[in-house]
Structure 1
Amino acid sequence: MITLKNVTLRRSAKVLLDGASVTLNPGEKVGLVGRNGAGKSSLFALLNGNLHEDAGEFFIPSQWRMGQVAQDMPETDQSATDFVVDGDTPLLAARLEVEAAEATDDYERMANAYMALQDAGAHDAPARAQALILGLGFRTTELDNPVNSFSGGWRMRLQLARALMCPSDLLLLDEPTNHLDLDALVWLEAWLKKYEGTMVVISHDREFLDSVTNVTLHIDSAKLVRYGGNYSKFEDMRAEQMELQQSAFAKQQDKIAHLQKFIARFKAQASKAKQAQSRVKALDRMEKIAPLLSEADFTFEFKEPANLPNPMLSMTDVSFGYPAPEGSAEGTPPTVIVHNVSRSVLAGQRIGILGANGQGKSTLVKTVARSLAAIGGEITEGRGLNIGYFAQQELDVLRPADTPLEHMIALVKELTAAGKIAGQATREQDLRSFLGTFNFSGDMVKQSVGSMSGGEKARLVLCMLVWQRPNLLLLDEPTNHLDLATREALSMALNEFEGTVMLVSHDRALLRAVCDEFWMVSRGGVSPFDGDLDDYQRYLLDEAKRQRELIKQSLIDAAKARATPAAPVPIVVKAGNPAKSSKLTKELQTVEARMEALNTECNALEVRLGNNPPTAEIATLGKQLAAVNEELKALEEKWLELTSQLEG
C-alpha cells in the first residue's frame, strides 16, 4: 500500500502539504481533487519519485511498476504501432537482452533471453498496441503512420496508449480525458474499469471520475482528506459538512438564494422531452450541492444579447467540408464530410452536437461560425446575428507575447472597425475591471499569455467571448483546460444565457446540464437524436460491437477463402523400390495427420471468433488463423508432391 504520514511538501516557498497523512490500498481507484494550485501535480511528482517529502514519512512498495503518461510532445518517425509497443518497458528490456545475448556465444543466456521475450508477450504485442490505438479513436489506416505525421492532440493520445500499454501496479493519470472525444472517452472508461492495479487520476470531468474511481482524495488547506466513493459521493459528503458549518454557511446565503432562484426558473422552463430530463436532474444536483458551489471563487455570466433574431439561421441543402488543398491540380474536388443538411437554429435552443470522431462535428460548427465556407447549399443568417465562437484550437491563436489587457484592447479595435460594438464599455479601466471578473486582477492583466497555464488561457478566451455579447454561442470542446470550479461556472452561465447554444463536448456533465436536444452527425448527415446521453453511450458501445463483428467476419471469410483440401484419395502404388515407397508412405501419413490437426485448430479458431471476443483478442486470433492457413497451404503442396512421387 501507499502511505503518507505527517508529510510536508513544498514547492519553492509555498507549502502544499503540511502534516498530511493518508493510506491508499492496492487496487483502489483514486480521484485526486482540489483547487488549482492546491498541489495535485506536486503530489503526483512525489508518487513518481520526481519530488521528495520535506518532512514526515512516505512509503510506496519498491517492487511496484509504475505507468504514467509522458507530458512531452513525441517527435519521431516511428509508426504509431511501434511507438505504443515500446511503451511496454518489460518487453523492451527483453528485446534488448535478446540482442545482447545474440552478440555472445553464451547459448544458455540466449535460451533464457528468448524465453523471457516470450513471457513478456512479444507474440501479441502489436495486436495489443493496435487495440489501444483503435480504442482511442484512430483509424485502421493510420496504424502504420509516423508519429510526427499526427497533430498535437493525436500525439498525446498515442502517449496515453503508450502508458496503458505498460504493465503496471500503479497508474498515474493527469487529465487523461483532454484531447479525447466522447467515443474515445467511453472506451477509456471501459478499459480503466478492468485495470487491476492501483490508479490515481487527476481530472476535471466529473462523470469520468464517477465512472472510474471508488475513492476521492481531496487536497484541502494543505491536508489530504480521504472520502470513500466517487466524485458525486464526495460532493454530497462535502456539501453536508459545509452545511454543518453554520458560520460559514450564513455568509453564503445570498449566493445560495441566487443559485436556487436560477435553478427553479430553469427547471420550470425545461421541457418534458426525454433529452431535457437529464438537464432537470443536473439542476437538481446543483440545488443539492448549492453550499459547495457557493464556495467557488469564480463565477461569471453572459450579458443579455442586444437582440434575438428568430430563426438565428437556416440551412438549406448545405454540404460541409474542406476545399481542395492549395497547389492541388485544377479541378480537384473539395472534400465533403456532411451532405445536404436542411435545418433551422431557433432563438433559445440548447443543442448538443453528438457524433463519433471524424464524422464532422467540428466541421459543422466551423462552417456555422464562418471559419469555413459551405461546400454547397445556402446558410441564411437572421438579422443582427452575433456569433461567439470557442474553437478547440482557440488557445493556439492567442498571442503568447501579449498580455490579457492587450488582447482585450485589440479585440475592441477589431470590433470597432467592423462596426460590431454593441454598447460595451471600452475604456482601458473598464477592460481591466472586466478582466477582473474572470480572475485576471492586479499584475495578471499585464502578464504575458505565453507564461500562463492552459486553464488561464481558456479563461481569457471565455472572457473575450462574453465581452462580445453574442446571441449565438458555438462552443467546440470548451472545457479541455478548465478545472471543475470553472466548468461549474460555465454550466451556470450557459443556463442563464438568453441566447442560443450549440455545444460540442466530451464533458457529459456539461451536456446534461445545458442541452435540451441533441443533433447526431453520422454517416454524412445530421439528424435529431431521439434519446438522452445514456442512450447515446449505449449507441457508441453497440457501434463498437458492430465494428468488431465486421472485423471478425472479414477474418472468417478470409479463412474460408483458403479452400481446405479434399480428403486424400486412395493411392495405387506401382511396382518399384519397396523401401522408397514405404518411406514416402510414412511421410505422407505424417503430413496428413498434421493437416488434420491444423483443420481442427482452424475450426476452433473460427468458433472463438464467432463468440464476440474483445478487440485485442480478435487481432490475435486473426493472426493465428492466418498462420494456420499458411501452414495448411504449404502442406497441401507437400501432399501433392508426395502423392505424385508414390504414383510414379
Structure 2
Amino acid sequence: EMWGDVGRCDHALTLVQSVSERSADRLLRVRLWESARGVGIRCRLLSGLGFDHEMMQMPTRAHSGGWRMRIVLAQALFLKPDLLLLDEPTNHLDIHALTWLEFFLANWERTVLIVSHDRGFLNKTTTATMFIHGKRLRYYGGNYDTFLRVRAENRAHSSAMAKQNERRVAHLKGFIARFGHGAKNLAKQAQSRMKILQRIQDEPCEVDFDDPYLRLQFPSASPLPPPCITVANVAFGYPLADGSIPKTLYQNCDFGVDCESRVAIVGPNGAGKSTFLKLLTGEIEPTEGHVGRHAKLVVAKFTQHHIEMMDPEKSSVNHMRSLTQEGVSVEEARKYLGRFGLSGDLALNPIKFLSGGQKSRLAFAELAWRSPHILLLDEPTNHLDLETIEALAMALNQFDGGVVFVSHDERLIEMVADELWVVNKGANGEPGSVAVWHSSYEDYKERLQQEFVSAGLVSGGTVRGVNA
C-alpha cells in the first residue's frame, strides 16, 4: 500500500509538473505579448508626439531639450496614472503633436490637471476650470470658454447686487440720521435699521474685478510699397560638415510679404519653420533662387534664442538704454517699459530675476523700440499667460506693418492670421515644401486628425491601444 501511495504521488507530481509547465509557458506568452503590446503603445505615443523611427532609436542625450520634454511627456502618458499633472505641456509641441495630444486627453478616462496658456487646447481637453485670483481658488464647471462666460455673468450679478446694497446703505444711513434721535417709535425703527445696516456691511457683496489689463503697442515705420520681401523659386539646405552637397530642406518656394501681410507659419518640428524666417531676414542665403528685400525695409524679429542671449546681469532699463549708441534717459526707458507691464522694481531688477513671460515682454518692448515695417515672431506665446496672449493679438492687429509668425497657439492664429503657410517635412529622400493652405486653421487640424486615423495612431476617436 505504501508503494502504491508513492506511485500515486509520483503520478500526481508528474501531472502538477505538466500543468505547471503549461502554465509557465502560457504566462511567458502572456508576458511576451504584454511586452510587445507595451512596445507598440510606446511607439504610438512617441509617433503621436512627432518621433520617427530613427529618432526613437537615438539615446535621450542626443535629443534637444524640447524633444526630451516630449519623451518625459510620453513616459507620463504610458504609465496611465490615476492623477496626471501637466504643467504647460504645449510649450515644446508643434501643431501635429498638439493636435494628437488633444485627441489623447479628450479621451483620457482618469483625472488630469492641466496648467496651460493655450486657450484652444484647454477648450478641447478640459471639463472644469479652477481660477486662482486674489489669493482664492474658484471652481467652475465647463471648459475655458464656459468659465469666461459664467464668470462674466457672476461678475455682472455681483456688480448689480453691490450697487443695490450701496443704495440700501445710503437709504438706511439717511433714515438713521434723520430719525435716530426723534420720537420713540421712530427711534426704535432707526435702531432696527442700524442692525440691518450692520448686517449688510458685515457681509459685503464681493465683485470679482480683473487685474489692470495689459496693453501692448507696436509702433511702425512709414509704410512701404509692396512687395517688401520677395521669395522667388527658393530652395535651401544646410551645408554639410564634409563639404558635400547639402540635403535640400525644401524647394520651389514662391511668396511675397508686404506691410499688410498677416501670415501664420505652421508645420512639424524639424521641417524648417524657423529656418524660413531666417531666409526672410537674410541671416542665411538660399541654395537656389533669390530673396529680395526693399532697400528701406526695417525688420524686427522675436525668438526664444534672443531672450536667452540677453545679459542676465543687466536690468531691463539698461538693456533698453543699450539699444542705441547715443542711449536714452532712465526716465524714458522706464516709461517705455511700463507700456509692456515692466514697471517699478521689475524694470530695475537684473533680467535673471524675471520670469519667462516678463523676459518676453522685454523682448516685445525691444521690437517696438525699432519701429519696424515687418514683425517676424518665432513662437511668441511660449511662457505668456492667457491675458498677455490676448493683448499681443490685439497689438498685432493694430500694428500698421506686416506680421509673419511661427506658432501653434490656436487663439493667436485665429485672431491675427489672414494666411496660413504650411511647411511640409521631406520624406523618403525627397525635399519638403512650403505651401499656402487655402482654408481655415480648423480645417487644417481636421486634416491632421484624419492623418492620425490613417496612420493608426488613433482609432474611433481614441488613441489606439492606450485608453482601452
The corresponding residue for 1:506 is 408
Aligned residues: 394
User: Do the aligned partners of residues 613 and 214 (structure 1) sit closer, same or farther apart at CA in structure 2, a change above 3 Å counting?
Assistant: closer
The code of the aligned residue for 1:365 comes to L
The corresponding residue for 1:364 is 276
CA contact (8 A) 2:230 2:291 kept: yes
CA contact (8 A) 1:472 1:500 kept: yes
Does residue 437 (structure 1) correspond to residue 350 (structure 2)? The answer is no
Cα distance per residue 1:408-444 (max 9 Å; x no partner) = 122223xx7xxxxxxxx93332112111222222222
Does residue 334 (structure 1) correspond to residue 246 (structure 2)? The answer is yes
The corresponding residue for 1:208 is 121
Q: Percent identity?
A: 37
Q: Match of 1:460, SS?
A: helix
The code of the aligned residue for 2:435 comes to S
Partner Cα distance (1:615, 1:221) in 2: 39
CA contact (8 A) 1:405 1:445 kept: yes
The corresponding residue for 2:369 is 467
Partner Cα distance (2:156, 2:380) in 1: 32
The corresponding residue for 2:69 is 156
Partner Cα distance (1:474, 1:248) in 2: 47
Q: Which moved more, 1:373-382 or 1:504-513?
A: 373-382
Q: Match of 1:342, SS?
A: strand
Does residue 236 (structure 1) correspond to residue 236 (structure 2)? The answer is no
Deviation at 1:220? 2.2
User: Do the aligned partners of residues 481 and 613 (structure 1) sit closer, same or farther apart at CA in structure 2, a change above 3 Å counting?
Assistant: closer
Deviation at 1:514? 0.3
CA contact (8 A) 1:316 1:341 kept: yes
Does residue 195 (structure 1) correspond to residue 103 (structure 2)? The answer is no
Partner Cα distance (1:613, 1:536) in 2: 17
Cα distance per residue 1:12-65 (max 9 Å; x no partner) = xxxxxxxxxxxxxxxxxxxxxxxxxxxxxxxxxxxxxxxxxxxxxxxxxxxxxx
User: Do the aligned partners of residues 249 and 162 (structure 1) sit closer, same or farther apart at CA in structure 2, a change above 3 Å counting?
Assistant: farther
Deviation at 1:616? 5.4
The corresponding residue for 1:571 is none
The corresponding residue for 2:435 is 527
Q: Match of 1:335, SS?
A: coil
CA contact (8 A) 1:403 1:446 kept: yes
Cα distance per residue 1:107-154 (max 9 Å; x no partner) = 9xxx8xx78x94994342222212111111112111110111111111
1:594-613 correspondence to structure 2 within 5 Å: none
CA contact (8 A) 1:312 1:346 kept: yes
Q: Match of 1:519, SS?
A: strand
User: Do the aligned partners of residues 247 and 380 (structure 1) sit closer, same or farther apart at CA in structure 2, a change above 3 Å counting?
Assistant: farther
Partner Cα distance (1:146, 1:409) in 2: 44
User: Do the aligned partners of residues 536 and 384 (structure 1) sit closer, same or farther apart at CA in structure 2, a change above 3 Å counting?
Assistant: same
Partner Cα distance (1:142, 1:221) in 2: 45
CA contact (8 A) 1:320 1:363 kept: no
**Unmatched 5+ stretches in structure 1:** 1-106, 251-290, 417-424, 550-610, 619-648
Cα distance per residue 1:489-541 (max 9 Å; x no partner) = 10110111111111211101110000112122225222221110111011112
User: Do the aligned partners of residues 352 and 320 (structure 1) sit closer, same or farther apart at CA in structure 2, a change above 3 Å counting?
Assistant: same
The corresponding residue for 1:412 is 324
Partner Cα distance (1:121, 1:403) in 2: 56
Does residue 378 (structure 1) correspond to residue 276 (structure 2)? The answer is no
The code of the aligned residue for 1:151 comes to S
**Coordinate RMSD, CA, aligned:** 3.1
User: Do the aligned partners of residues 404 and 175 (structure 1) sit closer, same or farther apart at CA in structure 2, a change above 3 Å counting?
Assistant: same
The code of the aligned residue for 1:335 comes to K
User: Do the aligned partners of residues 245 and 301 (structure 1) sit closer, same or farther apart at CA in structure 2, a change above 3 Å counting?
Assistant: farther
User: Do the aligned partners of residues 434 and 120 (structure 1) sit closer, same or farther apart at CA in structure 2, a change above 3 Å counting?
Assistant: farther
Deviation at 1:241? 2.6
The code of the aligned residue for 2:334 comes to R
User: Do the aligned partners of residues 294 and 393 (structure 1) sit closer, same or farther apart at CA in structure 2, a change above 3 Å counting?
Assistant: same
User: Do the aligned partners of residues 245 and 292 (structure 1) sit closer, same or farther apart at CA in structure 2, a change above 3 Å counting?
Assistant: closer
Q: Match of 2:324, SS?
A: helix
The code of the aligned residue for 2:35 comes to A
Choose between structure 1 and 2 for higher RCO, CA contacts under 8 A separated by at least 6 residues: 2
1:301-316 correspondence to structure 2 within 5 Å: 301-316=217-232
Does residue 226 (structure 1) correspond to residue 143 (structure 2)? The answer is no
Deviation at 1:317? 1.3
Q: Normalization by structure 2: what TM-score?
A: 0.77
Cα distance per residue 1:297-328 (max 9 Å; x no partner) = 3211111323334211111111133233xxx3
Partner Cα distance (2:462, 2:158) in 1: 50
CA contact (8 A) 1:309 1:384 kept: no
Partner Cα distance (2:161, 2:280) in 1: 46
The code of the aligned residue for 1:222 comes to K
CA contact (8 A) 2:420 2:438 kept: yes
The corresponding residue for 1:318 is 234
2:261 equivalent among 335, 349, 352: 349
Q: Match of 1:353, SS?
A: strand
The code of the aligned residue for 1:386 comes to V
CA contact (8 A) 1:321 1:363 kept: no
CA contact (8 A) 2:218 2:396 kept: yes
The code of the aligned residue for 1:516 comes to D
Partner Cα distance (1:295, 1:614) in 2: 39
User: Do the aligned partners of residues 333 and 615 (structure 1) sit closer, same or farther apart at CA in structure 2, a change above 3 Å counting?
Assistant: farther
The code of the aligned residue for 2:365 comes to C
Q: Match of 2:453, SS?
A: helix
1:544 equivalent among 443, 449, 452: 452
1:44-63 correspondence to structure 2 within 5 Å: none
The corresponding residue for 2:305 is 393
1:129 equivalent among 34, 42, 62: 42
Q: Normalization by structure 1: what TM-score?
A: 0.56
CA contact (8 A) 1:242 1:249 kept: no
CA contact (8 A) 2:279 2:291 kept: no
